[in-house]
Amino acid sequence: MNIHLGAELKARWGDYCLSLGKSPGAAIKAAIEHQLAQAAANPELKTYQQVREAPTQDPKQRFEILLTASEKAAIKERAQIERCSMRRWIVDSIRIGLTHEPQFGMDEIDALGESNYQLLALGRNLNQIARSLNDGEYEPVTIERIEALNGLIRKHTEVVSRAIRASLERWDIE
């Protein structure tokens, strides 16, 4: 099994494993065993899927919860960091618990929007090259042009990776 963590996450993982007194491989194995044991112990727990967008005209159902002051303060702080309302943050938390799928905050949505913009620019550049070749025009593909396209791909990959990491890591609780 190969897992690409990136330098920062790999260093953090190594430090964490060292604090546990385990090798990174042994810690991953233990985590997998824990997940499988948990799934075997709770076979009736259903993982839900988001299958379609709920129509906006459907009425929402009220559900009241009581929080401690510290829980409410923590939710308020987290919602402010993620630039959303407390209600949105709670709904996203519930959805990730039910679906095990990421719920993106505004920072991730902004990053993914920028990423899509970069991908579209990359597609336009490739289209121009293909159109020239299809028209029989010989347009030399220069190293500079390839490096520029490669730079766009790297930038896109970094943006998406950061968004994915942020989406997965933001659910950690202390």
| Domain co-membership, 159 together with 171 | yes
pLDDT category of residue 18 using cuts at 50, 70 and 90: very high
* Residues 114 and 169 both lie in one domain: yes
| pLDDT at residue 69, as a whole number | 93
Q: What is the pLDDT of residue 139?
A: 66
Q: What is the pLDDT of residues 40-53, one digit of tens each?
A: 777 677 777 766 66
How buried is residue 103: exposed, middle or buried, by Cβ count under 10 Å (0-12/13-18/19+)?
Answer: buried
Same structural domain, 85 and 109: no
For residues 140 and 171, state if they share a domain: yes
Mean pLDDT calculated for residue range 28-37:
89
Q: For residue 22, is pLDDT > 50? A: yes
Same domain, yes or no: 118 and 173: yes
Same domain, 117 and 81: no
Among 103, 123, 148, where does a domain finish? 103
Nearest CA to 22 among 14, 34, 10? 14
Task: Identify whether 71 is part of a domain.
Answer: yes
Is the pLDDT assigned to residue 90 strictly greater than 90? yes
Q: What are the CB-based long-range contacts (under 8 Å, 24+) for 124-131?
A: 125/149, 125/152
Which of residues 80, 103, 126 is at a domain's end? 103
> How many percent of the chain have pLDDT more than 70?
87
10 Å Cβ neighbour count for 78? 18
Indicate the residue type of 40: A
Asked, for residue 61, whether it belongs to a domain, the answer is no
* Per-residue model confidence as pLDDT tens digits over 104-128: 877 788 888 888 888 888 888 878 8
Q: How many CB atoms lie within 10 A of CB 111?
A: 21
Domain with 148, as residue range(s), is 104-174
Number of domains in the chain: 2
84 & 141 share domain: no
Q: Quick one: average pLDDT of 137-159? A: 77
